[in-house]
């Protein structure tokens, strides 16, 4: 096999030491060693991993907090693999993956602490939202439309010197011999390339993303993370109005009026990262909320059944 400048081949495996059909004695270090033996220049990127302690069966092999010090192989114990970059924080069955944008150094092995920061840990690259997966049956037009909403969100959100939206889409390489898969992937790449030509997207290998981030942020305490579950997109505000809830003016400067004929008891105001910044009790049919203390930008009001985008001028 030969290396390719536009392709990185990274270790990925889930060890299983239970005898039977699913027996698998190889951990990430073993796979890295096998890739070496194939003549590939293996990278130091983690190709997906179980990020929560509660999902580990073999802690010595799955505790990514220790990988920065090197992971010894299980089948090849004399071989040690030391990754530099985490990617694809997942759970069994992908039921609670940590989908998010950004580049940061996760602090711990729970849903809460993974989104927090520890400057001594490995760098993590956000893998995106909604498990953007491309199959032969994928509606590429619909997928591109959803991703377009996120791209528009990223460019509309307030920025800082740390703003860095990293994302990815996945596909199963086993299907690459199928014409339908190749057609879907090709259509997706052509559609995304329109954003590249418009200067809104850059194609990068994972190692390139890491290098570019570190060039801009040599301080290990720098970070940027936005979990996708905190982003409300595609809200049909007319649907909200049908339920009797509305707000005005929007955009607003100092005050926001909430019309609440159906008697909601309270609403929550979130910033663009999903952090709740206000909980407001609604005592009247029409309520006036002071937002003069907020910075200009995009916010979201959660009503319990919908999110409504608010622009603070």
pTM above 0.75, yes or no: no
Look at the chain and count its residues.
Answer: 313
Q: Tokens in use for 248?
A: 């005005």
Angstrom distance (rounded) from CA 58 to CA 79:
18
Whether the pLDDT of residue 234 is over 50: the answer is: no
Q: What is the pLDDT of residue 66?
A: 97
The predicted-structure confidence for 13-49, as pLDDT tens digits, reads as follows 999 999 999 999 999 999 999 999 888 877 899 989 9
Round to whole Å and give the CA distance between 247 and 250.
7
| CA distances to 121, 226, 301 from 150, in Å | 28, 12, 18
Beta bridge partners, 286, equal: 259
Q: Locate 114 and state its tokens.
A: 């993974």
The three-class DSSP label of residue 166 is: coil
pLDDT tens readout for residues 42-88: 789 998 999 999 999 999 999 999 999 999 999 999 999 999 999 99
The band of 121, judged by pLDDT with boundaries at 50, 70 and 90, is very high
Please choose, from the candidates 40, 52, 143, the residue with its C-alpha nearest in 3D space to the C-alpha of residue 96: 52
Q: Is the CB of residue 147 less than 8 Å from the CB of residue 139?
A: no
Number of neighbours of residue 245 by Cβ within 10 angstroms: 23
* pLDDT tier, 240 (very low <50, low <70, confident <90, very high otherwise): very low
Q: What is the pLDDT of residues 177-224, one digit of tens each?
A: 788 888 999 999 999 999 999 999 999 999 999 999 999 999 999 999
Give the tokens for residue 207: 């190692």
Quickly state the pLDDT bin for 232 (edges 50, 70, 90): low
């Amino acid at each position: 096999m030969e290396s390719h400048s536009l392709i990185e081949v990274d270790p990925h495996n889930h060890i299983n030491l239970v005898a039977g059909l699913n027996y698998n004695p190889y951990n990430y270090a073993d796979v890295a060693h096998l890739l070496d033996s194939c003549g590939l220049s293996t990278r130091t990127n983690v190709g997906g991993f179980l990020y929560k302690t509660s999902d580990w069966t073999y802690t010595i092999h799955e505790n990514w907090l220790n990988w920065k010090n090197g992971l010894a192989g299980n089948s090849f114990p004399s071989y040690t693999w030391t990754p530099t970059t985490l990617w694809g924080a997942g759970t069994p069955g992908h039921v609670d993956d940590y989908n998010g944008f950004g580049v940061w150094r996760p602090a711990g092995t729970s849903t809460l602490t993974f989104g927090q920061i520890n400057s001594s840990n490995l760098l993590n690259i956000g893998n995106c939202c909604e498990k953007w997966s491309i199959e032969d049956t994928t509606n590429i037009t619909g997928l591109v439309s959803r991703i377009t909403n996120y791209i528009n969100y990223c460019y509309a959100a307030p920025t800082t010197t740390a703003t860095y939206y990293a994302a990815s889409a996945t596909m199963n390489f086993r299907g690459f011999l199928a014409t339908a898969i190749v057609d879907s992937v090709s259509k997706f790449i052509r559609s995304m390339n329109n954003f590249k030509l418009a200067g809104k997207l850059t194609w990068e290998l994972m190692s390139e993303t890491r290098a570019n981030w570190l060039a801009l942020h040599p301080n290990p305490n720098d970070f940027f993370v936005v979990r996708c579950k905190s982003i409300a997109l595609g809200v049909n505000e007319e649907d909200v109005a049908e339920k009797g809830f509305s707000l005005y003016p929007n955009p607003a400067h100092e005050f926001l009026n909430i019309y609440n004929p159906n008697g909601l008891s309270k609403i929550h105001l979130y910033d663009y990262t999903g952090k709740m910044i206000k909980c407001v009790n609604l005592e009247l049919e029409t309520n006036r909320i002071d937002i003069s203390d907020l910075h200009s930008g995009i916010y979201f009001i959660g009503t319990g059944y919908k999110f409504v985008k608010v622009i603070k001028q």
